[in-house]
Structure 1
């Protein structure tokens, strides 16, 4: 991944997770050193820094959930755990000498485009102000925990925390525990705490389709092969890629294939769950794939434990000592863990972003988030998004999509170099046409099967998922077509840089 940039712009990146770190590496390789990463927290890693709950791990294979330009040969498991993935990100920061470019504890509150200078002015909670020619957002989609709107939750006197803000000082030993939510996080942490808890109430709004996780440790011999035979490592990654890629057909065009996996999930549930009432409520009533498919080898066994109570009743309120359900029953608990996911479809919130003519991004997205190729938004010149609208995947590694976006953004910077001091703004008609094609591609996909999921925004639009193969996205983002953009001259000469 090497690029040549005759003109070296100043660049601000918001976020120091996988997206921001990889983008910074691409920029440094191209000789861009006027580069700053603004990180809201005190450390790098994004979601892999925040989600430290017991059992936290990835559901994409380790060799694929890593940068293609920075392979790791000694992964301990087929599916990386949170500590190991965070360790990998830290390794990348150290190897590519990015630490000096990162400003920690700088939550961004606003970003404003100045058309007099064609620069972005970014302000953080600390009151610090940063200016740059190019603004790249790498905030991710899983960075803001979704706290449920439960009446009286603030009155609860016991321990209460979100799974993405795990309180490791809290002991579950012999405690009465309530877990609200049965999504991707709960699937992982419930089996880890179930044996410690004295009693566990598991509040489930809707069941999840859960498949076995083909996970195991790598042997030392396998790690040695990966290390000493790079082609073997590349071949293994390639095999994983094409195996995962084939699943895109099931999600977008041939959803009947997913029914085979549904039968497998039902067999697993029947194998491990002996309580007929629990079994009935653990089988989803919606089409498989409409919501995120989860993988676990110990979820069903954990829920089957006699001291686990699976509750499907709606929660009406929380009081000082417990939870009241719609039946009027009050269940006393000592600890409440919120496994209620993230505000994935809100993208750059709560940052207030202002583009040309004083238009805010909230106004531009009042009818739903839209971006050209998931990267550029009309009216917001020199703003590039990583992991933006309709770039999420249900079948493969998001890092493949991110690397496609790195290449596209670097191509954009090369185009900007041909127009010194200009800013590039995607044409509204090109953005509209592109988004129409994306929404048309989503029609008939399993995500439109009628269930309610985090893939959908408040208007019911799927602004999250990419409706196809990752290689088709890479082809679409192989380079910038300058005809898609207008290049704007600054209204005033930009100030000299130091």
Structure 2
């Protein structure tokens, strides 16, 4: 059927008012999916000044993605110009901004506007913004992600430090590090990247380690000019590289959720990599007491080299307090510093909060999540009709590209919007029973995952059970892309009147 005929048919159908909260990876993926499906009218609210989400918020030295560039991208917007095997933060942000602007998403986006609340009226969502405006939408898509609320540790005396103190996600580029002694608190991916970048660039780096990390070795090679030209002229090569990376991650993911050969192989690889640390005592201090991948696996080709430098110090004694001039550890030693960096991660269980969200019959999000975040298939919740989440609770996010997760979830959301546009229903939400069964199955499968093998991480919920999808990402995509089972949802009948897009 000709595209013009399809376009006219869509125009005759009722058009939904769609609000999207967030213009990061998942917001861009959702908006692009809406456009491809013929939903041209939607509003994106972005509290920041540009696209990019966590890649806009984070700009610290040494920032590099731990997923290969040719997989950490949208399947509908392959980039032949990646500079390295693993892209830097600025390069990923530039890519996301380019994808968004090429699709005209800036015309749909209100930057510097934060959504502070949303209430379901019984017919639609009434969204309140930081400017005090209230707007109404038939569907609300929460593309807020989960790595955007920095976690600041409670350390006695932190406010007394006279030098600059900054969280890695709030990097102050006005702070001059030349000639400064820099302390880094935190040893996850961010902490290891910071130490790797700062080593040799400042007189002294002190890394305060609470928990040692397993490091997966890699070589972050540059793509040559010839390679970029070939990828540019042969788009099929880019798609093939994407598919190869996908297959490799599928194999890797089996080790996350099933004991066996893959898990043992990864353990052997990281243990062998640790053997590159020559000093036996330093190697002992860097040896984790848990199984590889129990925490998010750190990928680095530079950290072990950096930590062995004479101008880099590893401190494993716990932090007692901070004073005006440095950090005092539990062994009574004071470490004099000029700058203190908090590489302490995020509140990964906040999701849409602190937005005040109220669903049907006055049920609030805080009430629904009193025992921890819960969702149905990662995208919907009972009692919150026509509200969708992207990269929501229990999504497959452990060392898996969020671009792929967001694309799969966007396809599910578009499927529901098409049904609404065709007049099949007015509101939809999963039933409480279906949501309970879904979460019970995940909890039953969680003990076999590597995240339940005995470590503390942000993957765990209040009850100590991993709050991640406990099967392979491929299994999740198969689930989320299938036709929904009508028995799992409460669907209200369609209103007889058609509505023109944008009408209030």
TM-score strictly above 0.5: yes
Moved more, 332-341 or 208-217: 208-217
Alignment partner for residue 314 of structure 1, among 318, 321, 339? 318
Aligned mates of 2:319, 2:129 — CA distance in 1: 37
Q: Give the C-alpha shift of residue 462 in structure 1.
A: 1.8
Aligned mates of 2:463, 2:455 — CA distance in 1: 14
Q: How does 1:77-96 map to 2 (within 5 A)?
A: 77-96=84-103
**4+ aligned runs moved over 6 Å, structure 1:** 490-496
**Cα distance per residue 1:252-298 (max 9 Å; x no partner):** 11255333333332332332x33332211111111111101111111
Q: Give the C-alpha shift of residue 11 in structure 1.
A: 0.5
Q: Give the C-alpha shift of residue 493 in structure 1.
A: 9.7
Aligned mates of 2:424, 2:444 — CA distance in 1: 37
What is the aligned partner in structure 1 of residue 211 from structure 2?
206
Contact 1:415 1:482 in 2 (8 A): no
Q: Give the C-alpha shift of residue 32 in structure 1.
A: 1.9
What is the aligned partner in structure 1 of residue 74 from structure 2?
67
Alignment partner for residue 171 of structure 1, among 176, 183, 194? 176
Q: How does 1:97-246 map to 2 (within 5 A)?
A: 97-115=104-122, 118-246=123-251
Confirm or deny that 1:262 pairs with 2:271.
Answer: no
Alignment partner for residue 12 of structure 1, among 19, 41, 63? 19
Q: Secondary structure at the match of 1:408?
A: helix
**Cα distance per residue 1:3-62 (max 9 Å; x no partner):** 996432011101000100111111122222331111111111001111111111111111
Alignment partner for residue 329 of structure 2, among 306, 320, 325? 325
What is the aligned partner in structure 2 of residue 467 from structure 1?
470
User: Against the structure 1 CA distance between its residues 320 and 489, is the aligned structure 2 distance closer, same or farther, given a 3 Å change threshold?
Assistant: farther
Contact 1:322 1:331 in 2 (8 A): yes
**Cα distance per residue 1:189-232 (max 9 Å; x no partner):** 21111212222221001000001123211122222222222222
What is the aligned partner in structure 2 of residue 337 from structure 1?
341
User: Against the structure 1 CA distance between its residues 128 and 494, is the aligned structure 2 distance closer, same or farther, given a 3 Å change threshold?
Assistant: farther
Moved more, 300-309 or 40-49: 300-309
Task: Could you tell me which runs of 5 or more consecutive residues in structure 2 were left unpaired when the two chains were aligned.
Answer: 1-5
Q: Secondary structure at the match of 2:292?
A: coil
Aligned length: 493
What is the aligned partner in structure 1 of residue 457 from structure 2?
453
Aligned mates of 1:395, 1:153 — CA distance in 2: 32
What is the aligned partner in structure 2 of residue 368 from structure 1?
372
| TM-score (normalised: structure 2) | 0.93
Moved more, 386-395 or 133-142: 386-395
Moved more, 387-396 or 41-50: 387-396
Aligned mates of 1:368, 1:141 — CA distance in 2: 14
What is the aligned partner in structure 2 of residue 484 from structure 1?
488
Task: Could you tell me which runs of 5 or more consecutive residues in structure 1 were left unpaired when the two chains were aligned.
Answer: none
Q: Give the C-alpha shift of residue 345 in structure 1.
A: 1.9
Alignment partner for residue 297 of structure 2, among 293, 300, 318? 293
What is the aligned partner in structure 2 of residue 357 from structure 1?
361
